[in-house]
Amino acid sequence: MSDQLVPTPAGLASAQVQTPSAYALEMESIVKTFGGVHALRGVSLQVRRGEIHGLIGQNGAGKSTLMKILDGYYPFGSFVGVVKVAGREVQLGSPRDAQAVGIAIVPQETTVVEALSVTENVLLAELAQHPIQLFGRNRSSARAAAFLAENRIPLDPDARVATLSMHKKQLVMIARALYTKPEVLVLDEPTSSLTSDEIDNLFAIVRSLRGNGLTCLFITHKLDEILALCDRVTILRDGLTAGEYARAEFDADRLITDMIGRKLGELYPPRPSLAADAPEVLRVEGLAVENPRIPGTEILHDVSFTLHAGEILGLGGLVGSGRSELVTALYGQTRILRGQVILDGKPVRPSGAREAMAAGIGLVTEDRKKEGLLFNLNIRENVTLNVLDEVSRGILLDRGRERHLARETVRDLSVSAPSTATKVTNLSGGNQQKVVLGKVLLPKPKVLLLDEPTKGVDIASKADIYRLMTDLARSGVALIFISSEFPELIALSHRVVVLAGGTVRETLDGVATSEKRLMRSVSLLEQAVEGMPQGISDSEG
Amino acid sequence: MSAVGVARVPAPESPLRARARAFMSAPELKRLLVLVVIIVAFTFMNPAFFRSGSFAAIVQAMAFIGIVAVGQTLLIIAGEFDLSVGSTAALVSIVVAVLMTQWNVDPVVAMLAGLAVGGVVGLVNATVVLRLRIPSFIATIAMLGIARGLAVWLSSAKAIRVPQLAQFSDLDRVVSFSVVLMIVFVLAGHFLVVRTNFGRLMCATGGNAEAARVAGVKTLRVKAILFVTSGLLAGLSGILSNIHFGSTTIATGSGWELAAVAAVVVGGTSLWGGGGTLIGTLIGLTILQTITSGLVVVKIDPWWQTILIGAIMLASVSIDTLRRRARPA
């Protein structure tokens, strides 16, 4: 832990190469561009020895790009800037290099070998180095047990990893990373799939490891966790370091201000006006939705809201708050446990995608690679997939009509492609997303569900998608819009329903609310939201 | 760069030119060229190859497998395999023969019953793969053993002559049923994939089942239909072999599954599913059969056949895989 409050200038540290550095990890003026787009525009990060250092920023601020540089995924030479570990400059060409110099990253997704025991998982790197050595089960198990006890990690070395909970699996990953005696342990969004008890438990372990002298870089976008755990924090915004503070210097307000810090540009079209007497299209009452990852449990309960023709209803919340599950439930892909969905005054309970489409509901899924597009097919074939009945006579496809519809879609959505026979694999992310939108719009839905429609999309295509959304709203389509990017969520939504703690936390007025207000609502614990300052108008539909 | 919102679609090229370009770049055309090169090469090595009328023999030799390969191609497009086709053909051929010789069943009825058996085998495959979620590779290998075992049991491992089919056999000598039906099924299959609603659903299912499901495609139903189709076609092939040879043994159809998969792969259908071509499969099969027959004509040791066919399969799959890797989805 450092008693120094003022950040040391970067030059000073590099001058002290001989003496053991006060810093476990330094990244200086990192610039990384992707084909003209600056992902990082000069980020500096300095992690002192023995501290828990938080790294926070909104989606797109540059956290993951920075981590991929630290991981060697983007090798030395593909970016500008200097990376130092324990005061020495390193040139990382691959993830293996990163491990060799003492950077141990525990990724967000679980990467454990389910079929092996805890011992085998923890010692995996060692086993891989000596593949022909006999594996002494008892000896290894004893060694792992001693190691786990020393680090106070509550795991049974003989347990089979497949039988462990998500939390325990994560501890296996942490133990495995620690076993390499790293200079710095990087935890990337470690709490995203943990319960609050498990989070407390994890924090206790991380604190106790700090007591043993471990340096930890803790990446998150939850303010609570930074406030609860970190000795120091670095805030990223738009590819720059927006601030660095010791624990005594920051509070939630400081973090939020630095995370937002920018004005909304000309990117957003004006929010379409919504008539006070716009008819109600969709009403959701007391909905409980099953958690698709843990069948039998509910990810959401008592969710109620209304949606009007021509309205854009934002759906705010953190990853894992149940936003996607809510819209997929309306689309008949996730199980509804209780409650009612009323569409145009009639109760509906779509049992599948086909039924949902027939009822007038369209869904743009979050993961267009996994669920949105058929990459082996061309634009035309992708676009018409939802309306095959319309473009065929009997069982035969009417290729003329199909081509005509596809051309219209390509024109309406300004997809740039040589022809409708272009395979979607060869399109940019933005154009792929427009193809997905075109496909979903062809059955002419009354209610359009958009799950992170601008994720991984270039800025020009984003503007096109915003314009399309407002045009649709003006024509009377009702939209539900999920986004982790608060600026766009606020700029486009008439109201924002915030999901947190498994239900609707509150409904914010899109015009009156601020990014700050929204960020508090989605990322702070319930008590903290009470007594919020400044003009909050909670409107009920 | 134009402002946001301005359409950026270039003018479509003339339909004739587009069609000509599509034709020239069709994967089938490249494979046809390969086939021509192979034929020229064999003719060069031994002119007898071209004269001997071996083409008719080649086409007849591949007809049974060709029919089976149609079902195989469709299944692979939809993302599944059927390795039980050879055994299914054997089982159906034996069932038909036993029904006629031991139970005196009318030949037409017996053949219909045989087809039904093929359909049931397909249905069982579909159930095991789709309901029990056992990978089709494993499930249909199991069926390969079971169906062949049943055939052995039913026939007591003896060859059975089927004079009851003589009238069909006579006709078959004039115009080969199997060759005609192979061509009919390849064309029908091609039409199915390229021009029909169902064909598109198949490609969607094999290409990205998750995306297809979100788009409302009943992917399990699509696959089930294709498993049954594969069983039916395998059974039909077994029956046609009875007619052609006037007898059957438990060796009927042995190795057809591998030959069919080889034809599909060499024909340019991706093993990963999502798209493919029946015309390509036909050309692929012709390439493989031409090599098999050609090696005999030019008097190269027969064990080279299998080595060469294995090498060609590997090369075809490698090309497909490398192309995928170069252009990640």
Q: What is the mean pLDDT of residues A260-273?
A: 70
Counting the structural domains of chain A, the total is 1
| Structural domain span for residue A400 | 280-529
Closest residue on chain A to B196 (Cα) = A396
Give the residue with greater pLDDT, A415 vs B134: B134
Least-confidence region, from A355-364, A440-449, B13-22, B86-95: B13-22
Closest residue by Cα to residue A358 from A385, A331, A340: A331
When pLDDT is averaged across residues B304-318 and rounded to a whole number, the result is: 84
Evaluate whether A2 touches A231 at the Cβ level (below 8 Å): yes
> Is there a domain that residue A405 lies in?
yes
**Is the residue at A105 inside a domain?**
no
- Smallest CA–CA separation between A365 and chain B, in Å? 8
Residue B196: its chain A contacts at CB < 8 A? 392, 395-397
Taking every pair of Cα atoms in chain B, the longest distance, rounded to a whole number of angstroms, is 81
Residue A195: band (very low, low, confident or very high) from pLDDT cuts 50, 70, 90: confident
Judged against a pLDDT cut of 80, whether residue A131 lies above it is answered with: no
pLDDT for res B226: 97
State both tokens at A172.
Answer: 């296996």
Taking only the tens place, the pLDDT of each residue in A29-56 is 999 887 666 788 899 999 999 999 999 9
| pLDDT at residue A81 tops 60 | yes
Nearest to A386 among B10, B197, B216 (CB): B216
Asked if the model's pLDDT at residue B224 lies above 60, the reply is: yes
Indicate yes or no: CB of B274 within 8 angstroms of CB of A410. no
Q: What is the rounded distance in angstroms from the CA atom of residue A275 to the CA atom of residue A511?
A: 15
- If one counts every other C-beta atom within 10 angstroms of the C-beta of residue A80, the result is 12
Does residue A268 sit in helix, strand or coil? coil
Span A356-366, pLDDT tens digits: 999 999 999 98
Q: How far away is chain A from the Cα of B328, in angstroms, using its nearest Cα?
A: 8
- The answer to whether the Cβ–Cβ distance between A376 and B211 falls below 8 Å is no
- Among B199, B216, B329, the residue with its CB nearest the CB of A354 is B216
**pLDDT tier for residue B78 given thresholds of 50, 70 and 90:** very high
Residue B31, burial from CB neighbour count under 10 angstroms (0-12, 13-18, 19+) = buried
- pLDDT class of A429 with cuts at 50, 70, 90: confident
- pLDDT above 70 coverage of chain A, percent: 88
Which one of B196, B215, B329 has the shortest CB-CB distance to A425?
B329
ipTM value for the complex: 0.73
- Tell me which residue in B6, B270, B275 faces A377 most closely, judged by beta carbons: B275
* A481-501: pLDDT as tens digits: 999 888 889 989 999 999 988
Considering the domain boundaries, does residue A29 fall inside one? no
Task: Please state the rounded mean pLDDT for residues B209-235.
Answer: 92
Degrees, nearest 5: CA angle A402-A403-A407: 120
pLDDT of residue B2: 36
CATH number of domain containing A396:
3.40.50.300
Strand blocks (E) in A18-145: 23-34, 37-48, 52-56, 80-85, 88-90, 103-106
Q: pLDDT confidence of A528, banded at 50, 70, 90?
A: very low
**Nearest-neighbour CA in chain A from B3: distance (Å):** 9
Query: Is A327 inside a domain boundary?
Result: yes
Please classify residue B194 by burial: count the beta carbons closer than 10 Å to its beta carbon, then call 0-12 exposed, 13-18 middle and 19+ buried: middle
Contact state of A377 with B203 under an 8 Å Cβ cutoff: yes
Q: Is the pLDDT of residue A443 over 80?
A: yes
pTM of the full predicted structure?
0.71
Residue A211's CB is within 10 A of a number of other CB atoms, namely: 10
- State pLDDT tens for residues A133-161: 666 667 788 888 999 998 888 899 989 88
Q: In what order do the strands lie in the sheet with A298-308?
A: A298-308, A280-290, A336-343, A346-348
A99-115 pLDDT, tens digit each? 889 999 998 877 888 88
How distant is the Cα of A351 from the closest Cα of chain B, in angstroms?
A: 11
| Of B197, B216, B274, Cβ closest to residue A352 | B216
B11 in contact with A at a CB cutoff of 8 Å? no
Q: Which sign, positive or negative, has the C-alpha torsion B167, B170, B175, B181?
A: positive
Q: Which residue of B has its CA nearest to A266?
A: B4
Residue A305 lies in a domain: yes
* The predicted structure's pLDDT at residue A363: 94
Q: B197, A352: Cβ pair inside 8 Å? A: no
Cα–chain center distance at A222: 12
Q: Which residue would you say has higher pLDDT here, B326 or A169?
A: A169
pLDDT bin (cut points 50, 70, 90) of residue B25 is low
User: What does the pLDDT read at residue A37?
Assistant: 67
Residue A488 lies inside a defined structural domain of this protein: yes
Domain membership of residue A323 (yes or no) is: yes
Nearest to A371 among B197, B207, B211 (CB): B211
Smallest CA–CA distance, residue A469 to chain B, in Å, is 13
Tell me what percent of the residues of chain B surpass a pLDDT of 90: 56
Min distance B123 CA to chain A CA atoms (Å):
23
Going by C-beta distance under 8 Å and a sequence separation of 6 or more, which residues neighbour residue A538?
A506, A507, A508, A509
Q: Cβ contact (<8 Å) for B274 and A376?
A: yes
Mutation to test the B interface, candidates A386, A388, A413, most B Cβ within 10 Å: A388
Do residue A392 and residue B196 have CB atoms under 8 angstroms apart? yes
Could you say which of B13, B22, B196 has the minimum Cβ distance to residue A395? B196
User: What is the CA A339 to chain-centroid distance, rounded?
Assistant: 28
| Local confidence band at B281 (pLDDT 50, 70, 90 cut-offs) | very high
Q: For residue A418, which residues of chain B lie inside 8 Å, CB to CB?
A: 10
Nearest to A144 by CA among A119, A124, A125: A119
Cα–Cα distance for residue pair B292/B308, rounded to 1 Å: 9
**Lowest-pLDDT range of A4-13, B70-79, B284-293:** A4-13
Distance from CA of B303 to the nearest CA of A (A): 38
Q: In this predicted structure, what is the pLDDT of residue A35?
A: 65
pLDDT band at A4 (very low <50, low <70, confident <90, very high): very low
- Chain A CB contacts of B329 below 8 Å: 369, 375-376, 425
Is A40 contained in some domain? no
Percent of residues, chain A, with pLDDT higher than 90: 40
pLDDT at B324 over 80: no
Asked if the model's pLDDT at residue A281 lies above 90, the reply is yes
Contact A426 B9 (CB under 8 A): no
Q: Give percent of chain B with pLDDT exceeding 70.
A: 90
Per-residue model confidence as pLDDT tens digits over A365-379: 988 777 888 888 899
Which segments within A143-297 are labelled E, that is strand? 184-188, 216-220, 232-237, 240-246, 280-290
Using CA coordinates, name the residue in chain B closest to A381: B200
Note the pLDDT of residue A36: 61
DSSP A23-34: EEEEEEEEEEEE
A399, B207: Cβ pair inside 8 Å? no
Q: Which residue has the higher pLDDT, B277 or B226?
A: B226
Q: Contacts of residue A416 in chain B, CB cutoff 8 Å?
A: 8-9
Of the candidates A370, A416, A426, which has its C-beta nearest B8's C-beta?
A416
From chain A, pick out residues whose CB is under 8 angstroms from the CB of B216: 352-354, 356-357, 386
As a whole number, mean pLDDT of residues B129-147 equals 94
